[in-house]
Amino acid sequence: MYINSGYKNHSLLDFKDKSKPLVVGSCGTYRLYAHPKLPTYRPRGRLDFQIIYIASGKAHFHFGNPENETIVPAGNIVLFRPKEFQKYEYYGIDKTEVYWIHFTGNDVKNILRKYGFPDEKRIFPVGTSLEYERVFKRIIMELQRCQDDYEEMLTLLLRHLLIIFHRELTREHILKNEYLDSEMDITASYFNENYNRDINIEEYAVSRGMSVSWFIRNFKKYTGTTPMQFITSIRITNAQMLLETTNYAINEIARIVGYDNPLYFSRLFRKQKGCPPSHYRKRK
């Protein structure tokens, strides 16, 4: 199981803050593989609002009382309001990945209504998007690092998230090519699972019965990046996490994320993050 989270003032306690229109309290992600079950049970709910985005797999919710069960698949968000009964589970067998964020403020209800979240609904189909995940990860990092003006940045990032959710909720849905969506989803999952291996893009495309140019063009439409850029981004992100959370040597981190040449890894890391790995680790 993978967990990454950040909390305002590094406190795990939920809170209500009416001093500002919108205040972000915490944000995080869970990714289950072998772990059998991750349950949450809050019979009295929380003091704040919570959005849960199911990025992959599915989640099991019990709205109203423990006996009801609603299975919510990937591509949906669930909105909990203050003091609402909460009971839900994630299962390793489903390979569930979720992102969550808690927020409060004196104008939250109106802000949510503005962005297409009426009071009477809990589940909203927003589809899956790497853009959602990028914003969630940025919020987590802001909460962890607490740089100058981070509270204002958190508010802007949450509004950004609500806006892109709203755009998806309100845009005119066009029939999609189910085959293409399925293939690109399979590919993205494969790259996520095997990013630290030597992946040959041409061989992969051929193995799926696609021409290389067609595959690269449509993968970029689906994710916003080329296949190699997608893999590189995963590698560098994981290297960044290892630099922040472990004492592994840089050449060992390079090997872990898929680079046999530490010098090449360092150059690539600097290009992506603006400084070499050694400097990045020192400033943490």
Q: Do domains 2-170 and 176-284 have the same CATH topology?
A: no
Lowest mean pLDDT among 92-106, 120-134, 177-191: 177-191
Alpha-carbon distance of 117 to 112, in angstroms, equals 5
Q: What is the CATH number of domain 2-170?
A: 2.60.120.280
Q: What are the start-end ranges of the H helices in the chain?
A: 108-114, 130-145, 150-170, 178-194, 201-207, 212-223, 227-245, 250-257, 262-273, 277-282
Angle ∠(111,140,257) on CA atoms, nearest 5: 140
**Model pLDDT, residue 177:** 62
Q: At what angle do helices 178-194 and 227-245 cross, to 10 degrees?
A: 40
Q: What is the CATH number of domain 176-284?
A: 1.10.10.60
Instruction: Indicate whether 25 pLDDT > 70.
Output: yes
pLDDT tens digits for 108-134?
A: 999 999 999 988 889 999 989 999 999
Contact 111, 52 (CB under 8 A): no
Q: What is the pTM of this model?
A: 0.61
Alpha-carbon distance of 166 to 133, in angstroms, equals 16
Alpha-carbon distance of 154 to 159, in angstroms, equals 9
Q: 174 is written with which tokens? A: 């066009």
Contact 140, 8 (CB under 8 A): no
pLDDT tens digits for 50-95?
A: 999 999 999 999 998 888 889 999 999 999 999 999 999 999 999 9
Torsion, Cα 184 189 193 198, to 10 degrees, reads: 0
Nearest CA-CA partner of 134 in 21, 55, 74: 55
Alpha-carbon distance of 113 to 103, in angstroms, equals 15
Alpha-carbon distance of 47 to 14, in angstroms, equals 6
**All residues at 6 or more sequence positions from 13 whose CB lies less than 8 Å from its CB, including other chains:** none
Domain residue spans of the chain: 2-170, 176-284
Torsion, Cα 164 165 166 169, to 10 degrees, reads: 130
Alpha-carbon distance of 6 to 157, in angstroms, equals 14
Q: How many residues does the chain have?
A: 284
